[in-house]
């Protein structure tokens, strides 16, 4: 059986790219032949792996999809869902797969998608793009409700977390991380992307309150948003008790999480945070805003400095514990793929038997 996965491949390291890497590993472990079409920007000059193809434009994308569906591949396209380009990508994959009677899945990851889908014209775009899809998987309930408003048939929609347990490895933390261990307690970790939705300023306001309780507070900051203007503001508060690491390979990022006292997720909007589930699966307490459904075990607060600071203090007091089950999607994805591999797409009429 063959699978064609369309989405971001790292770098950059983010929710979609981490999920795509995990999905490829999961399917390969189940005996599927895989091919990944990497649509991340900026484009990579060389393929990062033998079965990963950096896409150079619309015609290149179409040729690769047609080549795979002609060989019977199940197509799975991963999008953020909060801009037109992502829905155009989904529509191209869905309709090219339909032309060859191939099975096709779409996963919508971003917590910004519901706001984007407010205007009626955008809901029409989604209906046109995803109408023939076999399944549309949503990172959370809010995304599912928004897609229902697009008049997608309810039976095709399903909430499925982005976290995959397969193929995860943890590297030893960088030396810069180890340097905080002897002089800071507690040590928080945060992952920040570019954009205000990641809650960088909210985090700083909450840290001002947490530092009153813990004057030796340290912070590991990961992701593209941990550098530049935000780092300068954080440095004013924490000085050398801040380690801003920028983008890290996934295994290294997990090593940083494992070395921290608490993982903080201060987002102002969210899909299903892979990093929250990863931290819990490593036994690291989590303090997170309640802007999206959070897995059991996380300390959840409204997106304001005081409540978030209190959640951090509670998480520090909880201390390290054993790994918490984080709602992995592995088993359900394998089930969906097997079902699609055994039959034609859902929009085809069933064959009549004599």
**pLDDT tens per residue across span 168-224:** 678 877 777 888 888 899 999 999 999 999 999 999 999 999 999 999 999 999 999
**Are residues 101 and 344 in contact, defined by beta-carbon separation less than 8 angstroms?**
yes
What is the C-alpha to C-alpha distance for residues 291 and 271, in angstroms, rounded to an integer? 9
Question: 123 and 13 in one domain?
Answer: yes
pLDDT number for residue 273: 87
How far apart, in whole angstroms, are the C-alpha atoms of residue 61 and residue 190? Answer: 35
State the average pLDDT for the chain.
91
Task: Return the DSSP state at 13.
Answer: P
pLDDT at 321: 79
**DSSP one-letter string for 141-178:** HHHHHHHHHTT--GGGEEE--S---TT---PPPPHHHH
Query: Does residue 193 sit in the same domain as residue 286?
Result: yes
Q: How many angstroms separate the CA atoms of 190 and 224, rounded?
A: 12
Q: Beta strand pairing status for 52-54 and 157-159?
A: unpaired
Same domain for 117 and 24, yes or no, is yes
**Same domain membership, residue 296 and residue 183:** yes
Q: What φ, ψ does residue 122 adopt, rounded to 5°?
A: -75, -35
Phi first, then psi: give them for residue 275, nearest 5 degrees: -65, -35
Question: Can you point out the beta strands (E) in 198-325?
Answer: 218-222, 242-246, 262-265, 286-289, 299-301
Is there a single domain that holds both residue 313 and residue 194?
yes
d(CA 263, CA 286): 5
109 and 187 assigned to the same domain: no
Closest C-alpha to 79, from 118, 29, 116 = 116
Q: How many domains does the chain have?
A: 2
> How far, in Å, CA of 93 to CA of 106, rounded?
9
Torsion sign, CA atoms 165, 296, 159, 271: negative
* pLDDT the model gives residue 350: 39
| CATH code of residue 280 | 3.40.50.2000
Alpha-carbon distance of 352 to 189, in angstroms, equals: 58
Burial bucket for residue 78 (CB in 10 Å: 0-12, 13-18, 19+): buried
Q: What pLDDT is attached to residue 159?
A: 95
Rounded Cα distance, 185 and 139, in Å: 34
Express each pLDDT in 61-105 by its tens digit. 999 999 999 999 999 999 999 999 999 999 999 999 989 999 999
pLDDT for the residue numbered 178:
80
Q: Is residue 170 part of a domain?
A: no
Claim to verify: residue 294 and residue 335 sit in the same structural domain: no
Which pair of structure tokens corresponds to residue 95?
A: 């309709």
pLDDT at residue number 354: 32
The reply to whether 37 and 14 lie within a common domain is yes
Indicate if 234 and 286 belong to the same structural domain: yes
Asked, for residue 323, whether it belongs to a domain, the answer is no
Domain, as residue range, for 76: 2-164+329-342
Is residue 353 domain-resident?
Answer: no
Do both 337 and 309 map to the same domain? no
Q: Do 202 and 111 share a domain, yes or no?
A: no
Residue 324: inside a domain: no
pLDDT beneath 50, residues of the chain? 344-354
Query: Is residue 79 within 8 Å of 86, Cβ to Cβ?
Result: yes
Residue 318 CB-density burial (10 A; 0-12 exposed, 13-18 middle, 19+ buried): middle
- Residue 354 within any structural domain of the chain: no
* Residue 173 near residue 260, CB atoms below 8 Å: no
351 is a domain residue? no
Q: Is residue 75 part of a domain?
A: yes
Closest CA to 262 of 242, 237, 280: 280
Which pLDDT score is estimated for 15? 84
Distances (CA, A) of 193 to 115, 222, 265: 19, 8, 11
Residue 102 sits in the same domain as residue 227: no
Rounded to whole angstroms, the Cα distance separating 283 from 63 reads 44
The answer to whether residue 139 sits within a structural domain is yes
């Amino acid at each position: 059986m063959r699978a064609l996965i369309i989405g971001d491949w790292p770098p950059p390291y983010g929710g979609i790219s981490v999920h795509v890497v995990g999905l490829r590993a999961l399917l390969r472990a189940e005996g599927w032949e895989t091919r990944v079409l990497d649509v991340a920007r900026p484009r990579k000059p060389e393929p990062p792996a033998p079965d990963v193809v950096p896409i150079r434009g619309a015609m290149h994308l179409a040729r690769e999809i047609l080549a795979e569906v002609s060989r019977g591949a199940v197509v799975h396209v991963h999008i953020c869902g909060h801009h037109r380009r992502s829905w155009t990508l989904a529509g191209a994959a869905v309709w090219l797969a339909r032309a060859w009677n191939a099975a096709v899945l779409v996963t919508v990851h971003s917590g910004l998608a519901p706001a984007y889908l407010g205007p009626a014209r955008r809901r029409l775009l989604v209906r046109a793009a995803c109408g023939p899809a076999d399944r549309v998987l949503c990172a959370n309930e809010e995304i599912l409700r928004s897609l229902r408003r697009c008049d997608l048939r309810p039976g095709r929609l399903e909430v499925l977390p982005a976290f995959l347990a397969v193929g995860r490895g943890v590297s030893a933390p960088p030396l810069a991380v180890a340097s905080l261990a002897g002089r800071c307690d507690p040590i928080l970790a945060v992952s920040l992307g570019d954009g205000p939705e990641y809650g960088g300023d909210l985090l700083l306001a909450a840290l001002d309150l947490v530092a009153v309780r813990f004057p030796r507070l340290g912070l590991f900051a990961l992701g593209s948003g941990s550098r530049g203007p935000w780092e300068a503001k954080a440095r004013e508060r924490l000085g050398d008790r801040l380690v801003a690491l920028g983008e890290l390979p996934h295994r290294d990022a997990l090593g940083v999480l494992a070395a921290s006292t608490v993982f903080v997720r201060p987002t102002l909007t969210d899909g299903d945070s892979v990093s929250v589930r990863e931290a819990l699966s490593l036994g690291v307490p989590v303090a997170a805003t309640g802007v999206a459904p959070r897995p059991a075990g996380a300390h959840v607060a409204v997106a304001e400095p005081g409540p978030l600071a209190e959640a951090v203090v509670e998480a520090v007091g909880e201390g390290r514990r054993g790994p918490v089950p984080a709602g992995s999607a592995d088993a359900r994805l394998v089930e969906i793929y097997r079902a699609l591999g055994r039959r034609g797409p859902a929009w085809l009429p069933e064959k009549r038997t004599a």
